[in-house]
Chains A and B, each alone.
Chain A
Amino acid sequence: MAAGGWTRREFLRGMVVTGAGLALGACAPKATPKPAKDKIVVGMSRPLSGPLAVVGDSAFRPVYETFVKEVNDAGGIHVEEYGKKLPIELLVYDDKSDVGTMTRLTEKLILEDKVDFLWPACGTSFIFAQAPLANKYGYVLITAEGGATTIKDMLPSLPYVFVTLSFSDWYQLPVLAQLLSKKGAKTAYIAYIADLHGIEYSGVAGIEFPKVGIEIIGLKSIPPDMKDLSPIIREAKAANPDVFCCFAYPDQVMPATALSMELDFNPKAWVGGPCVNFGFYQTTFGPAAEGVIGFTSFNPKQSDAARALAEKLYTGKPKEIQDYWGHPLYWAGLEVWKQAIEKAGSLDQAKIRDIIATERFQTVLGETWFEGGLLSKDCHTGEIGQWIKGEYEVIGPEKWATAEMVYPKPPWPKG
């Protein structure tokens, strides 16, 4: 390896070379002057590679790709200020599922590329890092994947940030608790992923379940990366709860489902998510998915708009890519964004922000509005879903239910 001296001159010369090189490197990608307005440029930093690619590519990506295509096929978004329709142009960067890269690329989009709009990064912790940035530069940010009680507390200080996804106490678990108690569930065992998502869901369940008389008889955290969950499933089985909740990601919920079958653990209600809400859950487990409960926000049967959206997103595509929880909410978020631009008649972020914050919109969910930065829970067209006869039905709240909850769930199929 390295041998030989390193003289002062070499050192100095090296400094020169380095300094010049660095300065040159950083100067090179100079911003190009903005051309006359003939399109709306939307920038995104997405996890196209790395561990989060799994989430991002099945959650928001199919939605925004379909949305952009639909809008552009219709000529674009009409902006009064320019007196014409402007098509959307997407500028997508790969953040490698790394927060440091994501924050840098977000700043690049805002400062260097001067995009007209910012669309969200993927994942709750990424939103936490991106939201203050968007707010600082005065960019409206309507989030997609991710949402948490913690962000609810932050939103008053982030006027430019709007959260679309429903989450634990907004308003899933209270509905779940009601449904379960109505059917007579008395005990629950909770396994949760050791991160913000799991902590919040288990925490909220710890409040909501006892309220309706469901006792929590087991609570275990699962570290991410852990492969073998059988000790947890065995313990849950030994505890013999009415309800088993697995508040974790597909990497845990899928093996937990398989293990429940293998170990013949069949509680009266098996709740898991995010994961159960995806089409791939049903295509993987087939008839065994029957009766499994997850989170949701709509069902195509609910309205013509819902059916139209399902057709747009899923026709001619494998069932695996379906996501009845996230997709409709992300879509509604994009619809709100488009309508707000049309109402504002300009691309002015502050104007658009005020419109989103105060007005009401017609989206796939029906009348849609934001409350304190969160998509109002009154706009949700469902919270809890269940696989019934191969369909992911909304079972709660009652107002939106497309099917009656199956309780107890049928036994796992044999063979």
Chain B
Amino acid sequence: MEHTQSKEELIKENSALKNELNDLKLIIEAVTGHSDGIESELLEKIHAGEKLFQVMSKTIPVPFFISLKDSGKILFSNKHAYQIFGYSAEVFLTKEMLDLYSDPKEFQTFITVLSQYGQVDNFEATLKKSDNSLLIVYLFSQPIVFKEQACLLTVIYDLTERIKAEEEKSALENQLRQTQKMEAIGTMAGGISHDLNNILAIIFGNIELSMMILPEDNEVQKLLTCALSAAKRAKEMVKQILDFCRQKEHERIPVKIKQVVSEAVGMIKELMPSTIQIKLEIEPQLSTIQGDPTQIHQILMNLCSNSAYAMRDTGGVIEIILKEVHKNLATTRIANPKPVSYVVLTVKDTGCGIEKTIMDRIFDPFFTTKPVGKGTGLGLSVVYGIIKSFGGTITVESELGKGAAFHCYFPLSSKTSDSADPTDIQKKVNGGKEKILLVDDEEDVLLIFKSMIESLGYEVITHSNSLQALQMVQKSKNDVDLVVTDNMMPNMMGTTLAEKILAIRPNMPIILCTGLDIQINKDHLSSIGIKGFINKPYSLQQLAFLIRKLLDERNR
């Protein structure tokens, strides 16, 4: 009986165990099926992720690489990354992050930032290319897991183009500032020069008249000669300011610069101390430039004078080189991009050089490093003004203690040179008895000119108002033989007055004079019918010569 019960219980237990086993099998099946599904989904995701990664690394035009977080060994790089460093893919994958830095300390800073913030953004670094040239970049790094290893994904943002663009922008801004500054100074200096010339005209006139009145052996003559000499120096300084302002009309003619420079260098050699050697190197075939020989002389004189000053204690060599170049000067300082062919005159010395800090100011008028009384600070500004007026440009290279080189670029002339050298020949002064109308709005100037012209024997009628002067000519008709008029006058400009007088008397000889010849165009004056032109301040001799010349021409 007991045995039968045990058997039933065993059968029951066996059945329960079978059910349990079945349940377990089903659960295992469900779990296995579930796991297989999840695995295949994960694999699909991994493959999709890998594919996406491959496509992205090939497509994104941004250099990036993956390196081991601990050792920095590079495990992966897209082509933009290894190409930017100038490596092949194979070689780049043998490198470590540290190998890419030009300064190991910078890499340590990168690691410090990474450990502090967990990632790195906008880290400016100077990296090293395969040819050891430098690459300035921003780095962006994030920790990632790559091939089951702790890694860093680093994206490189190349700053080279940006830095270049910023430098170009800065150079253009400097160029613009320089031009604006020079224009402002030019306008101001031009205005001052105009007034100074009027004042100098009075001084010159009075001195010359006094010298004429006094006997030649009078003691005061010496004092007046001294005053005249000082006035001439002042006149020269005003001339230099006007040259800088480009407001002085200089005749632009085709110039064989080779001859002009050779001639000027010959003269400069005579003036230089024996401790300074001058070497001249001229390219045999040089094109003609459009300019003014006198002003080229001045450029050379000013530059050589500065060089000589820079070598005053040590002596040295001044090299003067003249050659033709084809160059785009668009990005250089004080640039004038046209034309692209230039004759370049280089004045190079072995002197003390120019400090970087003053390089921006050396062309400014009145800027000088010389002690008080040793320099006016106009030399380089005049050179600058002349070259700009030729349509050229000037650049400078210098390092402290290693000399300086000034390169003057002159645009080529389309015309050929006839080697003309127009020089006014001073002739013996003759006066006359004719009647001269003198018009100037400045009473003092009027007074002194009247005295000067009267001292030559002429009869002089004066008017400080151009409208009244015109009325007088209209009324008196044939009474006046010649008109001397200022140009810059209120009510009516000298050129307009001349036009109106010539409308009444077409053969009237008219001399136009001014202290600021900014807008005077000699062709224009001739077309109006103005036959004479003179700049203030002028000497009695110059004025007398011109008056007599025009009166004689009329009488022929």
Q: Decide whether A and B assemble into one complex.
A: no
